[in-house]
Structure 1
Amino acid sequence: MANKKIGTQSVKLSNPPSFISSATIVGPKEGKGPLKDYFDIILTDDTYGEKSWEKAECKMFQDSINLALKKVNLQINDIDYLLGGDLLNQIITASFAARQFNVPTLGLYGACSTMAEGLSLGAMLIDGEYADNVIITTSSHFSTAERQYRFPLEQGVQRPFTSQWTVTGSGSSILSSKGEGPYITHITIGKVIDLGIKDANNMGAAMAPAAADTIITHFNDTGFTIDDYDLIITGDMARVGRNILLDLLNKEGYNIDSKYKDCGIEIFDETQDVHSGGSGAGCSSVVLNSWLLSKIKNGVYNRVLFIATGALLSPTSSQQGESIPAIAHAVTICKNF
C-alpha cells in the first residue's frame, strides 16, 4: 500500500534524508552576480580548458561530484546511486560524465526541473531503505544550450526581453540516511501542463501554470499554508514568469509575494543584461547548493518550499510548431524535523 502518499501527488517521508554535502561550479558571468560569494568554484573561462563547450559542461558535472564527495571524505563507492541530468540531446553531459564513475546511474530529464526531480527520487530511495547515500547532479551551459535550442552564437541574434539566460554551472547534492540536516520531508510530483505557449523565448510564460498547479496541489495535499514556510522559491520563472505565477496564484487565493523568490532572478543582477533572468538545469541547482542551503543551515530559513520548473521542449518539437509542455516538482526542505 502507498502508505506514504498523501493527497493526489505528494509524499510525506517517514525517515527524511539529510543533505550532507553540496558543491557548485559556475561560469564567469554567474561568478560576477549577487551570489558570487557562495559558489565553490568560479570559472575564468567558460571552456574550462576543454576543446568544446559540451566537454566543458561535462567537466563541470564531474568536478562538482568530486568536490561534493571530497567535502565529506566520501569515495564514489560510498554512493549507492547517481541521479543526474542536463539539457543536451539524450542527456549526454550526465551520461558521458558517469563514464568516469563506477556507480549505478539513473539519467533524468526534466529540463530546468531536473534538480527537484532528482532530489525527489533520491529522497524516496533513501526513505524507502533502498539506499544510504545518493548524489544528485545537474548542469547547463549557456553556449551549449543556446546553439541547441536557439541560434549559433556566431550569428549574434538579438534576444527578446522575455528570453532567459541559460546558467553556466553545475550543482551536486549528497543525500544520506544519516546527517544533521537540512532534511527533505515532503515531495510533490508535478503534472505536465500545456496552455499552448509556443514562443521558446518566453519560457516563463510556459512554465508559470505548471508552477502554480504544483504549489496549489502541495498546499492541498499536505495541509501546509503559506505561513508554514519561511521561503517559497522557484526555478526558473525569472521576471516574466514570476509575475504570471503571482497572478495565477492570487486568482486562487494564494498570496505568496512576501515570501517568494526565484532562482533565475537571484543569480543575476539587473546590470548583467540577462533580460528576464536565468534558466537552465544548472540554475536552481547552483542556487540551492550554495546560497539556499547555507541560509537554511544558518537558521535564516527553517522551512523552505523549493519548486523547480522545466520547459519540456526540444528543437524538433519547436521546428514542427508544437507548443511547450511544462512541469514543476516541489520539495520541502527543513533545518529540523
Structure 2
Amino acid sequence: MKAGRQSWKFNDVYLLETATAVGPLESQGPLKDDFDVMFDEPYCGQKSWEQAESQLMRSAITKVIEKAKIQENEISVAFAGDLVNQIVPTHYTFRETNIPFFGIYGACSTSMESLMLSALMVDSDNAKIALAATSSHNSSAERQYRNPTEYGGPKPETAQYTVTGSGVALVSHKKTKIRIESATAGIIVDAAQNNPNDMGAAMAPAAAHTIKQHFVDLGVDPSYYDLILTGDLASCGSPIVVDILRQEGYDISEQHNDCGKLVFSPDQPVFSGGSGCGCCAVVTYGHIKKLLEQQRLKRVLVVATGALLNPLIVQQKETIPCIAHAVALCSAD
C-alpha cells in the first residue's frame, strides 16, 4: 500500500531466508560469526577479480536456497546487481540459473533497492518468492573506480574500503521471524561534492533526505526504531547525516549506526570504513538478521546509500549525485 510520496507499507511480507559470502578480510572482522560462507583468499578459487565476485554471489545464492529448503524453480523473480561495468559479475552468475531476472544498478544502494523491489513484487502477489542479491569485490571495484590494487597508489583517510562479499535474501508471504514492514525509495541528491575519495560526505545528504521522507510518509519519528542503519557512510559520513537530520528537527544520534563502521575493526587497514554493494548486504543479512531473530532488536530501518559516479564523469570535473533507499525490518514475534 502506498504511503505518502515515496514509501510503501507491506502486508504480510517476510524475509524467508538470507545468506552471505565474504572474503578474507571480512572473515577476520568483528562480524565473522554472522557470515555463512567465508573465503580465505581473495580470488575465491577463480582466475580474476570479476570471476571471484561472481563466485561470492553464486555461493550466497546456493546457500540461501539450501537454508530455505526450496528448489531454484520455486523462485519467481530475482533483482540483483553489483558495481562493475554492465553488472557483469551478476550476469555471469545468473546465466547459470533459470530464475527470471532483473539486473539493477544503484551503486551501493543496490542491496535495499533489490530488497524493496522484491517486497513490492511479493506484496502485490506478482511473485511467490522473490530473490534480492548484491555483491562487491575490493579489487574489482578498485579497478573499476580508481586504480588496480597492484598499482599501490596512496589513499587519504577519508577513502573507504570496498567490502568483498555478497548478500542474498529471499522474500515471501510465508511467516518467519522477520517481517518487511515498509520501504522508502530515494531521490537523487547532489550535494556538490566532487571528491571520489570522500564518498561518505557525498552520500550523507541523500541518506538524510530518505530518512526524513520515511518519517514523514510513515508518520513516525526516530524513537520508532531501535536502530537506524546507514549502508556506506563509514566514519566520515556518519556524523554528517546525524547533523543534517538534527537541523531538520530529527535527532537520530541514539539510534544511528553504519554498516561501514560495523563490518571491520578499527585496527584493520580500511581507512574510514567499509563500502560497496556487499557492505550493507552482508551486515544486514548476516548480523542484523541475527539480532532481529534473537529479538535483541525489534525494529530496524536499513538505509543503503549509493554514489552514482564513474571515473569518466569525475575526470570531467562533475559532482557526484547520490541516492539512498530504505527498508524497515521488524521482529515478527
Bucket of the pairwise TM-score, normalised by the shorter protein: over 0.9
1:9 aligned partner: 6
Deviation at 1:325, TM superposition (A): 0.5
Q: Hey, what's the Cα distance between the residues in 2 that align with 1:221 and 1:72?
A: 33
Q: Hey, what's the Cα distance between the residues in 2 that align with 1:230 and 1:168?
A: 28
TM-score, normalised relative to structure 1: 0.97
Q: Hey, what's the Cα distance between the residues in 1 that align with 2:223 and 2:202?
A: 28
Counterpart code for 2:147:
F
1:97 aligned partner: 93
Cα contact 2:221–2:250 (8 A) shared by 1: no
1:153 aligned partner: 149
2:41 aligned with 1:51: no
2:127 aligned with 1:131: yes
Counterpart code for 2:314:
S
Q: How does 1:103-122 map to 2 (within 5 A)?
A: 103-122=99-118
Note the alpha carbon deviations across 1:67-101, whole angstroms, 9 max, x for none: 00001211110100011000000111111111000
Deviation at 1:261, TM superposition (A): 0.9
2:260 aligned with 1:255: no
2:173 aligned partner: 177
Give ranges in structure 2 of 5+ residues lacking alignment.
Answer: none
Q: Hey, what's the Cα distance between the residues in 2 that align with 1:48 and 1:274?
A: 20
Q: Hey, what's the Cα distance between the residues in 1 that align with 2:59 and 2:330?
A: 27
1:230 aligned partner: 226
1:322 aligned partner: 318
* Residue of 263, 267, 274 corresponding to 2:263: 267
TM-score, normalised relative to structure 2: 0.98
Runs of at least 4 residues off by over 4 Å: none
Q: Hey, what's the Cα distance between the residues in 1 that align with 2:290 and 2:177?
A: 11
Counterpart code for 1:102:
N
* Residue of 193, 201, 224 corresponding to 2:189: 193
Deviation at 1:137, TM superposition (A): 0.7
Give ranges in structure 1 of 5+ residues lacking alignment.
Answer: none
Cα contact 2:229–2:301 (8 A) shared by 1: yes
* Residue of 290, 296, 303 corresponding to 1:300: 296
Note the alpha carbon deviations across 1:128-180, whole angstroms, 9 max, x for none: 01011011110000000001100122221111000000000001101111122
Q: Hey, what's the Cα distance between the residues in 2 that align with 1:78 and 1:128?
A: 17
Deviation at 1:181, TM superposition (A): 3.1
Q: Hey, what's the Cα distance between the residues in 2 that align with 1:181 and 1:318?
A: 44
Note the alpha carbon deviations across 1:28-80, whole angstroms, 9 max, x for none: 10111110111111111110111101101011111110100001211110100
Counterpart code for 1:268:
F
Deviation at 1:16, TM superposition (A): 3.1
1:257 partner SS? coil
Cα contact 2:35–2:286 (8 A) shared by 1: yes
1:208 aligned partner: 204
1:233 partner SS? strand
1:33 aligned partner: 29
2:70 aligned with 1:74: yes
Q: Hey, what's the Cα distance between the residues in 1 that align with 2:208 and 2:12?
A: 25
2:292 aligned with 1:290: no
1:29 partner SS? helix
Count matched residues: 333
Counterpart code for 2:309:
L
2:237 partner SS? helix
Q: Say what the alpha-carbon RMSD is for the aligned residues.
A: 0.9
Q: Hey, what's the Cα distance between the residues in 2 that align with 1:264 and 1:96?
A: 27
Cα contact 2:37–2:59 (8 A) shared by 1: no
Cα contact 1:136–1:174 (8 A) shared by 2: yes
Counterpart code for 2:7:
S
2:320 partner SS? coil
Cα contact 1:16–1:123 (8 A) shared by 2: no
